[in-house]
Amino acid sequence: MGGRSVRRRQLGRGAARPGDSPRRLGPPRRHAGATRHRRAVRPAARDVRRRRVADAAARGVSRAHLPDARATAHYIVKFGRGTDPGLASILRHEAPYMRIAAGLGLRVHAPLELRQRALFIPRFDRRVEAGRAGAGRVVRLAQESIATLTGMPGFEAVPSHDQVCRDLVRHCTDPHTEVLEYLRRDVANLALGNKDNHARNTAVQRDAHGRIGLTPLYDFAPMYLHPDGIARRIRWSDNDGGRPD
């Protein structure tokens, strides 16, 4: 009796004992917290893999992750969400909206491409330059939203159009050109129903030569179709009475 107890202690908890049937041995125990953690992480990991695969597909390569030296282009990829027809319509029309913006003379970087439920958006904050022996060199451009430009980086405070224009005049290399571009974008937003004009949907950029100006247009879409209703965030101070909307 004593010998069997010693042998069991030496084998440890959960280990097979002499004479045990394999049917009595269940899977090793897992901590409940660890199981919950894996369930929380797996969807995010799948999303990262999807973005990498989509990015690689846009570049026409088979590998989902490439070093900068082999990259020829960079994309942001938006995926369709849920089954709501309004959300699907917004994603489907963002590329045509960008073509309209180009036709209106707004600053547009490159055409967007919709592939099934994924929208490929060429990045304008990175440029690929030819390096030695054909290797690419990625140049990342300094960029910040008008939320930080106006000193309102939080999510509650919202600058007015007047404040944005004053700061564009203060910081941009060619203030007249940038303010005019900003005004044209506001008119286009009103005319085409893009109400999602919060302070992170417009940004300024400093290029390699030190020139500061507005980035190309982005997130320009028919947001009036959103099922939750999107309110126009940035408005003119006092002179539009909260309208037009």
Is residue 23 a part of any domain in this protein?
no
Q: What is the pLDDT of residue 53?
A: 45
pLDDT digits over 75-90, tens only? 999 998 888 899 999 9
Segment 127-155, tens digit of pLDDT: 888 766 556 688 899 999 999 999 998 88
**Collapsed DSSP state (helix, strand, coil) of residue 32:** helix
Confidence of residue 201 (pLDDT cuts 50, 70, 90): very high
Looking at the domain assignment, is residue 26 inside a domain? no
**Residue 49, in any domain of the structure:** yes
Mean pLDDT of the chain: 77
Domain that holds residue 94: 44-225
Give domain status of residue 134, yes or no. yes
CB neighbourhood size of 12 (10 A): 7
> What total number of domains does the chain contain?
1
Torsion-angle region of 228 (φ positive above 0: left; ψ -120 to 50: alpha; else: beta): alpha
Res 48 pLDDT > 50: no
The answer to whether residue 22 sits within a structural domain is no
d(CA 221, CA 75): 18
**CB half-sphere exposure, 193, CA atoms < 13 A:** 10
29 located within any domain: no
Token pair of 27, please?
Answer: 């899977």
Whether the pLDDT of residue 110 is over 70: the answer is: yes
Joined tokens for residue 23: 């049917």
The answer to whether position 83 is within a domain reads yes
Q: Does the pLDDT of residue 45 top 50, yes or no?
A: no
Predicted confidence (pLDDT) per residue in 160-191, tens digit: 999 999 999 999 999 999 999 999 999 999 99
Greater confidence (238 vs 80) lies with: 80
Quick one: average pLDDT of 213-232?
93
- Dist CA 46 CA 39 (whole Å): 11
Three-state DSSP at 65 gives coil
**pTM, entire model:** 0.70
Which pLDDT band, with edges at 50, 70 and 90, does 243 fall under? low
Residue 34 scores a pLDDT above 80: no
Residue 29 has pLDDT above 50, yes or no: no
